[in-house]
Amino acid sequence: MNNIRNFAIIAHVDHGKSTLADRLLELTGTVEAGEHDEQMLDRNPISRERGITIKLAPVRMLYELNNYLITNDELRIKSKSEIRNPESTNQIILNLIDTPGHVDFSYEVDRTLACVEGVILLVDATQGIQAQTISNAYKAIEKNLIIIPVVNKIDLPSADVEKTKKQLMDFLGIKEEVIFTVSAKTGVGVEELLKAVIEKIPSPKSLIQKQASSLSLIFDSYYDSHRGVIAFVRIFDGELKKGQKVKLANLGTEFEVNEVGYFSPDLVASDKLATGEIGYIVTNLKDIHKIAVGDTIVDVRNAYIRSLPGYKKIKPMVFASIFPTDTADYPNFQKALEKLYMNDSSLEFSSIYSQALGAGYRVGFLGLLHADVVRERLEREFGLNLVLTPPQVEYSPAGVMFKEPIVKVMIICPDQYVGAIMQLTQNYRGKFLTMDNKNQMILEYELPMSELISDFFDNLKSVSSGFASLDWEFLDYRIVKAGKLELLLNGDPIDEFSEVVVEERAYEKACFLTSCLKELIPRQQYEVKIQAQYKGKIIASTRIAPFRKDVLIKSGKVIGAGDVGRKKKLLEKQKEGKKKMKMVGRVEIPKEAFMKLFRK
């Protein structure tokens, strides 16, 4: 174990984590420079297209220490002469996990930090410390991990290295000499950083020190149609090997290990995984309900089964309904959602039914970007065509009142944008908490989650010229004046558009929905009234005029020419017919209209 280093790269979004991972892969000879895609650990097409990491990505690297004197005693080198001898090599196993930087994928970071002994905290020299820099650093500190602070992008003309160093010194309480400077793009400083990882991050330790013990944590997984669930594991004690009979400490599932191996970054089979190592196991389990991320794998022979702490289940804050556009695809959609859950354990879902859209699922997400990525993954990876209803928050009933979720928001920005941001936050029902102006402005607010998932973030970027960054955490539920907003078509409610809305936003939302629906519903042969009802009262209304059919013209000829009585009789008959149609007819909303409105 003394030659193993388990570490992660954590940072704010777009600060260069995946590019730094590329240089480390090249430096260790894991891949050849110029013969791989950029950000090669971001293998998901959606991740590559959006330019952000959406999944944790482990990789095993081997590094030969030649002619390099290291000071970490844990390597237990026999003599300095042996280190300096070119014929003698010392192989270090480096298990790196690249992580997402967007707040919506913070659960990926949480699971990663439970598997490593240290982190590289990467900061973009052109932007300085941002919201997720602070959030992720606090997570590493809470787990007592070794933190190696690094300033990246020093090659750019707009880089302010000294200012960024000062921010890190103030934030972490460290001296300047412990901060590394690199250019992940050009590779400058990366080798010195790699050596610092070997020197500063400790090797893993066995938890139990018993020969018969075996403890492994499942930190991620995915479903393979041929080999069942493939679990990503960190071995905390003992070993795992092919043919070994194991058991899940929490679920109680027993199975035989079909294969073990490493991430290089492709799956490469090996004889075994030993204490301290990170790798994968092929379970051959086809029932995805029999295994879970966060569970502990133990040997079935263990008399004492101990479960590792695992992960605190994260609570989704944003909810939306998802339906297949073709109702015949529902069984495939159900299987796809369950398989995706194996690779994204932050999801929550339950089945629902809509008269207009058929069977679907109510799904909980960590944020708007998470919801959009999940929809896109379901469509691309499983060949589905889906419609996602507008994301909402869940209100908790409190007698005749409602409680809404409140979050604590941290906004980091240059000081010249503080006034505009404070005004913006006030417009979104924000409550000011604190402000810190050391090196850069850090504003903290309490904000309703429903406001955060509207267009708050877009407007924040707009008023700050793109310089503000944001992080948030759930606080609690608080009583708010709210009620049910319903849309009515000729008096009939449309369940798909019923939602709880706070009182001060009800009229604005009602006008928006009624005007949108007017554009999307085809004209009928009778008048269609579109109304928005809030707490039982109509607060917005519009109408779709009927088609006008001239009953006095038949085959191009005027009926009853000159006969006023006959003309009047025909017009009265048409009027009665339309009245009857309106009484017995139900306005049909095309599925395409629902989809267009949801996308708005």
Q: Quick check: 352 and 337 in contact, CB under 8 A?
A: no
What is residue 523's three-state secondary structure?
Answer: coil
Token pair of 347 as six digits: 């999801």
Token pair of 426 as six digits: 């006030």
Instruction: Please name the residue ranges forming H helices in 471-527.
Output: 503-520
Amino acid in the structure at residue 402? F
Q: What angle do CA 79, 85, 86 make, to 5 degrees?
A: 145
Residues 6+ apart with CB under 8 A from 329: 384, 385
Tell me whether residue 154 is annotated as binding: yes
Token pair of 566 as six digits: 């006959």
Establish whether the linkage from the previous residue to 265 is cis, with ω within 30° of 0.
Answer: yes
What is residue 192's three-state secondary structure?
Answer: helix
Burial bucket for residue 62 (CB in 10 Å: 0-12, 13-18, 19+): middle
Q: Quick check: 58 and 95 in contact, CB under 8 A?
A: yes
Nearest CA to 64 among 36, 94, 41, 35? 94
CA distances from 183 to 34, 187, 211, 313 (A): 17, 5, 45, 36
Measured between alpha carbons, how far is 361 from 337 in angstroms, rounded to an integer? 9
Tell me whether residue 14 is annotated as binding: yes
C-alpha of 209 from chain center? 37
C-alpha of 182 from chain center? 28
Tell me whether residue 17 is annotated as binding: yes
Q: Quick check: 16 and 153 in contact, CB under 8 A?
A: yes
Tell me whether residue 155 is annotated as binding: yes
Tell me whether residue 153 is annotated as binding: yes
Q: 196 phi and psi, to 5 degrees? A: -65, -35
Token pair of 430 as six digits: 């924000």
Measured between alpha carbons, how far is 285 from 246 in angstroms, rounded to an integer? 12
Measured between alpha carbons, how far is 592 from 31 in angstroms, rounded to an integer? 48
C-alpha of 170 from chain center? 30
Tell me whether residue 158 is annotated as binding: no
Burial bucket for residue 78 (CB in 10 Å: 0-12, 13-18, 19+): exposed
Paired residues of 59 in beta bridges: 96
What is residue 253's three-state secondary structure?
Answer: coil
CA distances from 523 to 506, 580, 596 (A): 27, 17, 17
Tell me whether residue 19 is annotated as binding: yes
Measured between alpha carbons, how far is 325 from 595 in angstroms, rounded to an integer? 9
Paired residues of 233 in beta bridges: 218, 279
Instruction: Please name the residue ranges forming H helices in 261-415.
Output: 330-343, 368-382
Tell me whether residue 16 is annotated as binding: yes
Token pair of 116 as six digits: 């490593």
Token pair of 398 as six digits: 């409190």
Amino acid in the structure at residue 74? E
Classify the C-alpha dihedral 152-156-160-162 as positive or negative. positive
Q: 70 phi and psi, to 5 degrees? A: -105, 155
Q: Quick check: 316 and 361 in contact, CB under 8 A?
A: no
Q: List, as residue ranges, the binding site.
A: 14-19, 152-155
Q: List, as residue ranges, the binding site for GTP.
A: 14-19, 152-155
